[in-house]
C-alpha cells in the first residue's frame, strides 16, 4: 500500500510538473508487454475516436496531442467532461462491464493514441505489476480531480468556475513553477461547455479577466494565464471578484 500511495503522489506531481514532449514514450514503455490487441493510431484534428452509444470495446492511451471527452443529453445539450493529453487515458469504462459508451471522444489536434482491447488490457493488468500499479495510481489521482470538479460545480459560481478551468488548462502538461503560461486554444463555446454556463457569460468574464490582468490575448489568438494571480482568485473564499480592481492587481503584479 505504501508503494501504491507513493505512485499516486508521483502521478499527481507528474500531472502538474510534466513538460510535454511532442511524442511521449511513457505509455509506449508501459504497454510494450502487450503484443496482441494493441494498435497505434494517428488521428487528424476533429477525428471522432468513439461516439456515445457505441459498444465499449477498448481503452485508449494518449502518446501525443489532446482529446476532448464530452456528452450530449437527449435534449441535445453538450457538456465537456474532460480534456486529456499525453500520459493520460480514456474510455476505460469497458474494463468494468460498461458495455456501452456513455460519452464521446474527439481529437482536438493531430493526436497519436494506443488503442488496447479490453481483454488484452485486463490480462496485462494481471500479468504486469508495474503497469497495474501505474494504472491504479492514475485512476485514483483522476478520481481526486473529479471530486474537486464536482465540488466546484456544486458550490462555486460560474465566474470562479471559469477561473479554475483556465488555471487547470494553463497547467495542462506544463511545469507548475511557470508564472505566465500559454493555455491550449479553445473557443468560448467549449469553455462554456466545460464551466456549465452560456457563451455570452464566458465572453463577459474573459473580458473582465483581461481588464484585471489575469489573462492576456496574443495576436495569434492564444491566451496567456497569469498563473499566480489566477491561483489567488481560485483559492479566495469570496464569491465576488469585484474586489480585484485594476489598481489592486497592478500593485500585486509589481
Per-residue pLDDT reduced to its tens digit, 119-129: 999 999 999 99
Model pLDDT for residues 53-70, shown as the tens digit of each residue: 999 999 999 999 999 999
Is residue 190's pLDDT more than 60?
yes
Cα 197 to Cα 79: distance, rounded to the nearest angstrom: 10
In 10 A of CB 75, how many CB atoms? 5
Whether the Cβ atoms of residue 166 and residue 230 lie closer than 8 Å to each other = yes
Mean pLDDT, residues 214-221 taken together: 75
- Which grid cell is 119? 481483454
Mean pLDDT, residues 166-193 taken together: 70
Look at residue 237 in the predicted model and tell me its pLDDT: 58
Bridge-partner residues for 70, per DSSP?
80, 104
Give CATH for domain 2-153. 2.60.120.10
Is residue 207's pLDDT more than 60?
yes
pLDDT band at residue 193, thresholds of 50, 70 and 90? Answer: confident
Cα dist from 241 to 41, 49, 200, 222, 230, whole Å: 44, 39, 18, 24, 11
Domain boundaries, the chain: 2-153, 157-253
Max intra-chain CA distance, the chain: 61
Computed from CA positions of residues 221, 202, 77, 145, in that sequence, does the dihedral angle turn out positive or negative?
Answer: positive
pLDDT band at residue 7, thresholds of 50, 70 and 90? Answer: low
Nearest to 102 by CA among 70, 144, 66, 140: 70
Look up the CATH architecture of domain 157-253: Orthogonal Bundle (1.10)
pTM: 0.72
Q: With pLDDT > 90 as the criterion, what percentage of the chain qualifies?
A: 39
Is residue 47's pLDDT more than 90?
yes
Look at residue 247 in the predicted model and tell me its pLDDT: 42
Mean pLDDT, residues 168-184 taken together: 60
Is residue 178's pLDDT more than 50?
no
Candidate from 21-30, 55-64, 127-136, 237-246 with smallest mean pLDDT: 237-246
Amino acid at each position: 500500500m505504501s508503494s501504491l500511495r507513493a505512485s499516486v503522489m508521483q502521478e499527481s506531481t507528474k500531472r502538474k510538473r510534466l513538460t510535454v514532449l511532442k511524442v511521449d514514450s511513457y505509455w509506449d514503455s508501459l504497454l510494450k508487454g502487450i503484443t496482441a490487441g494493441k494498435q497505434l493510431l494517428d488521428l487528424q484534428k476533429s477525428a471522432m475516436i468513439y461516439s456515445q452509444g457505441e459498444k465499449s470495446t477498448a481503452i485508449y492511451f494518449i502518446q501525443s496531442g489532446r482529446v476532448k471527452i464530452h456528452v450530449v443529453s437527449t435534449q441535445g445539450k453538450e457538456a465537456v467532461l474532460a480534456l486529456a493529453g499525453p500520459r493520460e487515458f480514456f474510455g476505460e469504462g469497458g474494463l468494468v462491464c460498461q458495455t456501452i459508451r456513455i460519452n464521446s471522444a474527439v481529437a482536438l489536434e493531430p493526436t497519436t493514441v494506443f488503442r488496447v482491447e479490453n481483454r488484452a488490457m485486463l490480462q496485462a493488468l494481471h500479468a504486469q505489476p508495474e503497469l497495474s500499479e501505474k494504472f491504479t495510481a492514475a485512476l485514483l489521482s483522476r478520481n481526486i480531480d473529479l471530486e474537486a470538479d464536482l465540488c466546484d460545480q456544486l458550490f462555486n459560481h460560474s465566474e470562479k468556475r471559469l477561473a479554475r478551468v483556465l488555471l487547470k488548462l494553463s497547467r495542462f502538461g506544463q511545469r507548475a513553477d511557470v508564472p505566465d503560461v500559454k493555455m491550449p486554444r479553445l473557443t468560448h463555446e467549449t469553455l462554456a461547455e466545460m464551466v456549465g454556463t452560456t457563451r455570452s457569460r464566458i465572453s463577459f468574464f474573459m473580458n473582465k479577466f483581461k481588464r484585471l490582468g489575469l489573462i492576456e490575448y496574443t495576436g495569434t489568438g492564444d491566451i496567456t494565464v497569469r498563473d499566480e494571480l489566477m491561483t489567488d482568485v481560485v483559492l479566495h473564499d469570496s464569491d465576488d471578484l469585484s474586489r480585484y480592481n485594476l489598481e489592486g492587481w497592478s500593485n500585486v503584479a509589481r
